Structure 1
């Protein structure tokens, strides 16, 4: 349904489309919600938009994109069929919350959220300064969007997954990718708890993805061998939401009932499920997460 189409009574039981929410980077941040919801990166050709386009091609999804850039967001939604754009700043909890609420009120379910909003680091951390206290590094955008924004998105996704119909349990997906070293730990800390509620949480750890965030100057820092396309990442995301078992590029088999709390490294057409570090003392016998009662 397009934004502003008016009030509609939704019968989610008879619906044949999943709802997804997707979000995008700073140039165009987008979140998608639908029957099978996900979030899409809203640069003109980022990972989020690539995921949204692939979902749209299936004809099985209602997609909602959440982003800060109104002009680009509307253009992205207009280029797809079952897609609606919602303008919001992912670093502002109230804006994200109001958007999720609006989408859920319309769709009555949430299936997939792709927390993908992010910016590239443009502060040269290793710059040398001769004397005195060095100037404060400008990392506010990096931490607010890539970390705080992703945690807000995950928190809201959890809330609306819980309110979705029971028939979607075990098929709900939250996929996180941004400043991923920090968010891998977050994924693993919430993954087991939410799996008990029928939600699969996984972190995607891509290499250097060619998007509008990668300027020619930044691209020059990297070998061509490590550069990957948005399609490489989208292919792995679709493996995660397909409800199938997977076997990664080193032959590691992960059954679909274990395909949660994973960190998946994407390197070109190859992908690898990275093992969780083990404890080697008395902590080895302690559950990885304490499951909390309602």
Structure 2
């Protein structure tokens, strides 16, 4: 077994990303890279955490910059074992704003999609590339979605769209990724008190219905370990099936959320036909 493993965490300088980084560091044997566009957040970290981690200033929606960081880390360490595709933003909340006059309104702010969906796709794509180069026996990507991936967040429709998209992305790629021994899973936390939520917004949720960051850390580390897991209602997922899973997190509980059933046999057969298509050369 290798003497150390390497983790890349986007959005790693604060919130859930930082908490997972600290969880990995507590286990020893991990070299942890925090990828974040907020250099000030990293500079303000506890000196011990700063000394134990490596920081890369990067915006996940900028593919070329993100790719350069992945390459640099791979050349430096010779390996990448785990990627936590966690970077996210709330985005603009003015989608419903009424504009006067006959002229079309300006283009909406789509940064929530750029970061929360495109950025995760870029991160996962790059992770898969470097995992394949190593021919690892077990590589892992955990994607941070949100409960907004399962339910509508009316005041943030583009955020909701991006987070819903992550589950579709997961379910599309996971059957292919596992053939390369890459396990991809998604977590859907409820309201976690992190810097993404401004205080005036956070206060609308009573403390007893918030999800502590420790729930997120426990779930992510379990997914990294790839061990048998059982959720709050007794649903068991064995280690060999721990890929393509959507894991909802609420307060201190975890729930596996299955793909919806097909509406009828014709729909099921149509989906099977599509998923048997092998024309994509990269498969």
- Asked whether the 8 Å contact 1:193–1:289 carries over to 2, the reply is no
Q: What displacement does 1:116 show? A: 0.7
Tell me the SS of whatever aligns to 2:55: strand
TM-score, normalising length from structure 1? 0.81
Deviations 1:53-85 (A, max 9, x none): 111111120111111122333454953254211
Match for residue 50 of structure 1?
Answer: 19
Is 1:117 the counterpart of 2:87? The answer is yes
User: Hey, what's the Cα distance between the residues in 1 that align with 2:273 and 2:249?
Assistant: 28
Match for residue 214 of structure 1?
Answer: 197
User: Hey, what's the Cα distance between the residues in 1 that align with 2:205 and 2:103?
Assistant: 31
TM-score, normalising length from structure 2? 0.84
- The match for 1:176 among 143, 162, 165 is 143
Match for residue 3 of structure 1?
Answer: none
Q: What displacement does 1:289 show? A: 3.5
Match for residue 16 of structure 1?
Answer: 3
Distance 1:201 1:289, change over 3 A: farther
For the aligned residue pairs, the C-alpha RMSD in angstroms reads: 2.3
Match for residue 223 of structure 2?
Answer: 240
Match for residue 34 of structure 2?
Answer: 65
Q: Which has the higher helix share?
A: 2
Give runs of aligned pairs for residues 136-151 of structure 1, distance below 5 A.
136=106, 138-151=108-121
Is 1:271 the counterpart of 2:254? The answer is yes
- The match for 1:90 among 60, 65, 70 is 60
Mind listing any 5+ residue stretches in structure 2 that lack a counterpart? 146-161
User: Hey, what's the Cα distance between the residues in 2 that align with 1:210 and 1:253?
Assistant: 29
- Asked whether the 8 Å contact 1:69–1:87 carries over to 2, the reply is yes
Deviations 1:192-217 (A, max 9, x none): 10011101101110111101121122
User: Hey, what's the Cα distance between the residues in 2 that align with 1:158 and 1:77?
Assistant: 32
Match for residue 132 of structure 2?
Answer: 162
Mind listing any 5+ residue stretches in structure 1 that lack a counterpart? 1-13, 25-39
Match for residue 6 of structure 1?
Answer: none
Q: In terms of mean alpha carbon deviation, does 280-289 or 51-60 score higher?
A: 280-289
User: Hey, what's the Cα distance between the residues in 2 that align with 1:254 and 1:75?
Assistant: 39
Tell me the SS of whatever aligns to 1:174: strand
User: Hey, what's the Cα distance between the residues in 2 that align with 1:60 and 1:289?
Assistant: 39
Distance 1:233 1:136, change over 3 A: farther
Is 1:193 the counterpart of 2:176? The answer is yes
Distance 1:100 1:77, change over 3 A: farther
Q: What displacement does 1:278 show? A: 2.1
- Asked whether the 8 Å contact 1:192–1:289 carries over to 2, the reply is no
